[in-house]
Structure 1
Amino acid sequence: MSGVNRRSVLSSGAALAGGAAVTAGLATAAVAAPSAAPAGAASAGTGATIRPGDPRYPELTTGNNQRFVARPDYIKMIRSSADAEKALRDAFRARKRVSVRSGGHCFADFACNPEIEVILDFSEMTDVGYDAARRAFYVEPGARLINVYEALYKGWGVTVPGGICYSVGAGGHIAGGGYGLLSRAHGLVVDHLYAVEIVVVDAAGRTRTVVATREEDDPHRDLWWAHTGGGGGNFGLVTRYWFRSPDARGTAPEDQLISPPSTVLVSAVDFPWDQLDETKFARLLKNFGAWHEQHSGPDSEYRHLSSLFNVSSKAHGSLGMFTQVDATVPGARQLLDSYLAAITAGTGIKPRALTKPTGELPAMPQLAEPRTMPWLQATRLVGTNNPTITDPTSRGAHKSGYMRRNFTDAQIAALYKHMTRPDFTNPDTMLVLFSFGGRVNAVAPDATANAQRSSVFKMCFQTFWQDESEDDFYLGWVRDLYEDFFAATGGVPVIDDRTDGCYINYPDRDVADPRRNRSGVPWQTLYYKDNYPKLQQVKRRYDPANFFRHSLSVEPAKR
């Protein structure tokens, strides 16, 4: 591809800095006899093949969630589309069960489980740059979100409205839709996706690399569409994404993608559990829900404000909330102050400084009084010091839900009951409430594969623990909470006037289990709504053998 590789430019300084050491070793290298490459070693364009017995193997057979472990025949590190084609062809012809990993997080067993025989790992494909020929920015699937933000912003002053956690891999984040603190102002990540490069395999094992764009006359447009929320690991091997906003103009790179605010106004506060009883708890959450019901239209003046509210268990000691506003919009401080006042109205709660980590939020005592700072600085502050979700030694359980309206009394009662259970002493447990709506809701449900376009906030129920012996207790706790919370609709957030299903990037195998999902609504509908049949058609065309499959994968349409 043409254009400048920004990450290569940024890393060249590090290479030069090591020049003295390299030069010092040249004399020795010149006379030393060449040695054989170790088994499984990589070449410049081909990634390593890592098998049992290799010291790297244990690290690469599991991911961010230690509940899920694979014992594959080998892990194939991928470095290019040609490398991906060969790896896919070899695995197909050997009839190996494969999984696909970009190297970041996976909440379920998609990448690592006992049935996997080959893991195709893209974590070495991390380039971010500008492609002048396509007039779009490219991102490889192994790039972590913080690296994407740094490269795009430092190079061109642009960004994508992606997630908070720095270590999420771009490959899965994008395919599932992608959202973050800028989404209320700019939509989902996939609302800016222009093209995707993907390696696919036909029923005979023939592999090819396809570039699918959003252009109306592109014969592969449906494949592009499937990657705008259809989930990772379903259709093939993504080797590159390109981004250009739909309203991009001219030819200058900086005009092809959204620009983040130059500065943001940020606030972090704690609501102590010792100030809460059930009545105050209910009012606090109802305030959050009511505010988002009122202010989540596509053109709301509050679309420039987004908040992350960790409703932690009583064992943690407090509930933490981080809020960010575009500081360049008129009246930014007034928007923030009115929001904070609305959340605490009628509760009598006195917010305190956020002095200890809570869920996805680090301790931020310096933000008890709102503070203006550069956008990238704020992004690093929240995203790179994430003490719970990025712990690579922990086990976790996660469940999701989109809310179109405020909580019911029964939902809040269920939440209070389980968060205050006297036998539950784990502080690393929370219901995370994310501001949603705004420009996300300006897009039609069928324009992208991500169909949830009328929600006002999103939820993630999650808990983390260390020991396998505690799996039953914690899984039982989160299942009981979730199913009590959605008791009126069969234990899941069905598609109705109050809830809008689940988020595929927070995958949960329980929704496919009729013992847990008693609603009669298929799990496919919860994640994809009316878009699932089209996803099945794309699957049949590009993966007719159903080679790419996992516990919640798209099934090809029947002929």
Structure 2
Amino acid sequence: MKYFSLSSSFARIIIVLYSISLANSARTHEDFLQCLTTRISENSTNTSKTFPYITPNNPSYSTTLNSSIQNKRFSSPSTPKPFAIITPFHFSHVQATVFCSKKHSIQIRTRSGGHDYEGLSYVSSVSFVLIDLRNLSSISVDVESKSAWVQAGATLGELYYKIGEKSENLAFPAGDCHSVGVGGHISGGGYGYLTRKYGLSADNVLDAKLIDAKGRILDRKSMGEDLFWALRGGGAASFGIVLAWKLRLVPVPSTVTVFDIKRNMSDAATKKFVHQWQRRADKVDEDLSIYITFRTASSIDKEGNKKIILEALPRGTFHGSVDRLLQLMQKEFPELGLLRQECTEMKWVESFLYFNFFRNGESLDVLLNRKSSYNVAYFKAKSDHVKEPIPDDVFEGMLEKLYEEEVGSTSIDVFPYGGKMNEISESVIPFPHRVGNLYYIHYFVQWQEEEVDITSPNKHITWLKRLYDYMTPYVSKNPRTAFFNFRDLDLGMDNNKDGNTYNNISHASIWGTKYFKSNFNRLVRVKTIVDPTNFFTNEQSIPSLLV
């Protein structure tokens, strides 16, 4: 009886403490929103009474939150959600959010396009507000100076559209998915069809506007070269909130030639092409970039029997005419047997319609649609860098593992380096994967239904990890490197629940050196100077030495 009494008392104490905690949390949230409202009102230059935040009791909350989520792993009812979504229309709204978040010890997540592979731009394990930059998306292109200012909430599609409006002979080196946000893409490096000729997106940044932990708006001159260095490929969210980038635009010819074809890996010629690609794709003319996707597909043989085949899907861009491309392909990759009718000449900006599967005469206006061309699914991905050609039998063994998952649900992509990438030092910006890297691999698995037994390891992710383990002896080593744009929390994650995060530099260096190699140490030094109290933080951000 005495035991029952003590247990009941303890339970009541726990309930009371939990209720107090909830009440304190709610009060903090209310105080934050009141601070934000007051701060914006005091600094407002217009008479609008609409404040740029949405709370869960607002009918548009779920729509706004889910509209940019690209991975269904982070859209379930159990996924932690922000207690408010800030949708700033002015830089001052972002400043107000930083001020009030710091005052009330609230963490911030910042989202431009929502393509963070691990959802870190809109998910947190602690109470947080989400700054969704979608309204800060203006773009100004200056043809004369060959530059453009683009706000961080714009998408790559919007950027390409604006460049194409002004000139068919200017471009920007970045990815081909039109719905990716400019802010995160550039801050993680940014790879695309122009990379072999002009480098990464981050290699072509001239200036930036950033709000730091003190709420100041800084440009390159006022922030200094160390911080400007860190933003370009080092994950800007660790250091502040990028509001806009000034970009160097690069020349392209009036005509580019593209192709996107299918070949069967059971064909000896296709296998020979793939093995030749490993050894030559980084060395060919820098005007040519060929990616290859490998996946399984359903097929019907000559006898009418259903079967599963392994496909290779080479797709490429050549900055020149189809005649020049065919000559080059005959010289470098005759095994592919690329045909004239498989190639299409077009303007550079039109190639992004093509690679986003707008191939039925759609206007460039579709690039302005922030919605992805791909169906949103549950997915997980990992990445590797290759420094020496993988033995042919091992490469084929890697591809054979695609049969272990559902047809078409997995893919392995390979992307070439070389060209300009070999000319840039690995310390010029934080992105270090330069000379000596032949190509990088992107492993991907997706599924449509949530796992029924959430207590067991996800079978699809387990398969992906087995594939990753299989490749260990054949990819980069000491460290085994990864591409930051393909964020992977399997590499390491810090506890972010107690507000005293990332104080273990040695632990953070495990994943930090995989992304940044020795540049990680400089990133830590910059972080310690510009954000010593670690205000800008997430589950995989650069730590400060002083926390």
User: What's the TM-score once normalised by structure 2's chain length?
Assistant: 0.76
Q: 2:419 aligns with which of 411, 435, 438?
A: 438
Instruction: Indicate the residue corresponding to 1:71 in structure 2.
Output: 81
What CA deviation, in whole Å up to 9, does each residue of 1:293-321 have, x standing for no partner? 5x1xxxx5x11000121011356742211
Q: 1:268 Cα deviation (Å)?
A: 2.1
Instruction: Indicate the residue corresponding to 2:348 in structure 1.
Output: 375
| Alpha-carbon distance in 1 for matches of 2:129, 2:140 | 30
What CA deviation, in whole Å up to 9, does each residue of 1:363-403 have, x standing for no partner? xxxx85223222222221113559x9754531110111122
Instruction: Indicate the residue corresponding to 1:347 in structure 2.
Output: none
Deviates more, 1:134-143 or 1:80-89: 134-143
For the 8 Å contact 1:414–1:485, the answer to whether it is kept is no
What is the correspondence of 1:106-255 to structure 2 with a 5 Å cutoff? 106-113=116-123, 114-130=125-141, 136-156=147-167, 157-201=169-213, 206-212=214-220, 220-244=224-248
Q: What one-letter code is carried by the residue in structure 2 that aligns with 1:212?
A: R
Instruction: Indicate the residue corresponding to 1:452 in structure 2.
Output: 433
What is the correspondence of 1:369-408 to structure 2 with a 5 Å cutoff? 369-383=342-356, 385=358, 390-391=373-374, 393-408=376-391
Q: 2:488 aligns with which of 488, 499, 508?
A: 508
Instruction: Indicate the residue corresponding to 2:57 in structure 1.
Output: 53
SS of residue matched to 1:380: helix
| Alpha-carbon distance in 1 for matches of 2:383, 2:459 | 20
For the 8 Å contact 1:310–1:431, the answer to whether it is kept is yes
Instruction: Indicate the residue corresponding to 1:469 in structure 2.
Output: 451
| Alpha-carbon distance in 2 for matches of 1:506, 1:43 | 43
Cα gap change, 1:95 to 1:433, in 2 (>3 Å):
same
SS of residue matched to 2:208: strand
Q: 1:85 Cα deviation (Å)?
A: 0.5
Q: 1:95 aligns with which of 92, 99, 105?
A: 105
Q: 2:257 aligns with which of 254, 260, 265?
A: 265
Q: 1:337 aligns with which of 327, 330, 346?
A: 330
Instruction: Indicate the residue corresponding to 1:29 in structure 2.
Output: none
SS of residue matched to 1:303: coil
Cα gap change, 1:74 to 1:123, in 2 (>3 Å):
same
Among all aligned residue pairs of Structure 1 and Structure 2, give the percentage whose two residues are the same amino acid. 22
Cα gap change, 1:413 to 1:370, in 2 (>3 Å):
closer
What is the correspondence of 1:416-427 to structure 2 with a 5 Å cutoff? 416-421=399-404, 424-427=405-408
Q: Does 1:323 align with 2:316?
A: yes
| Alpha-carbon distance in 1 for matches of 2:110, 2:242 | 9
Q: 1:131 Cα deviation (Å)?
A: 6.7
| Alpha-carbon distance in 2 for matches of 1:461, 1:328 | 32
SS of residue matched to 1:87: helix
For the 8 Å contact 2:209–2:220, the answer to whether it is kept is yes
* Paired residues, number: 456
Q: What one-letter code is carried by the residue in structure 2 that aligns with 1:473?
A: K
Q: 1:281 Cα deviation (Å)?
A: 7.5
Deviates more, 1:308-317 or 1:80-89: 308-317
SS of residue matched to 2:135: coil
Q: 1:112 Cα deviation (Å)?
A: 3.0
Q: 1:60 Cα deviation (Å)?
A: 3.6
| Alpha-carbon distance in 2 for matches of 1:374, 1:124 | 29
SS of residue matched to 1:420: helix
Q: What one-letter code is carried by the residue in structure 2 that aligns with 1:467?
A: E
For the 8 Å contact 1:161–1:182, the answer to whether it is kept is yes
For the 8 Å contact 2:191–2:201, the answer to whether it is kept is yes
What CA deviation, in whole Å up to 9, does each residue of 1:127-183 have, x standing for no partner? 110479998420111111011011023224422111010100000001011120111
| Alpha-carbon distance in 1 for matches of 2:143, 2:353 | 29
What CA deviation, in whole Å up to 9, does each residue of 1:176-227 have, x standing for no partner? 11120111111111111011111011xxxx42111125xxxx6611111111
More helix by share: 2
Q: What one-letter code is carried by the residue in structure 2 that aligns with 1:153?
A: G
Q: 1:482 Cα deviation (Å)?
A: 1.0
What CA deviation, in whole Å up to 9, does each residue of 1:50-88 have, x standing for no partner? 111222222343511111243211111122221111011
Q: What one-letter code is carried by the residue in structure 2 that aligns with 1:373?
A: M
| Alpha-carbon distance in 2 for matches of 1:45, 1:337 | 65
Unpaired runs of 5+ residues, structure 2, are 1-45, 299-307, 360-370, 495-507
Instruction: Indicate the residue corresponding to 1:248 in structure 2.
Output: none
Cα gap change, 1:391 to 1:270, in 2 (>3 Å):
closer
C-alpha RMSD of the superposition: 3.2
| Alpha-carbon distance in 1 for matches of 2:348, 2:239 | 35
For the 8 Å contact 1:47–1:83, the answer to whether it is kept is no
For the 8 Å contact 2:281–2:289, the answer to whether it is kept is no
Instruction: Indicate the residue corresponding to 1:25 in structure 2.
Output: none
| Alpha-carbon distance in 1 for matches of 2:509, 2:96 | 40
| Alpha-carbon distance in 1 for matches of 2:179, 2:114 | 6
Cα gap change, 1:505 to 1:116, in 2 (>3 Å):
farther
For the 8 Å contact 2:111–2:133, the answer to whether it is kept is yes
Instruction: Indicate the residue corresponding to 2:527 in structure 1.
Output: 539
What CA deviation, in whole Å up to 9, does each residue of 1:236-269 have, x standing for no partner? 111111123xxxxxxxxxxxx3122211122222
CA radius of gyration, larger in: 2
Unpaired runs of 5+ residues, structure 1, are 1-41, 245-256, 345-349, 354-366, 515-519
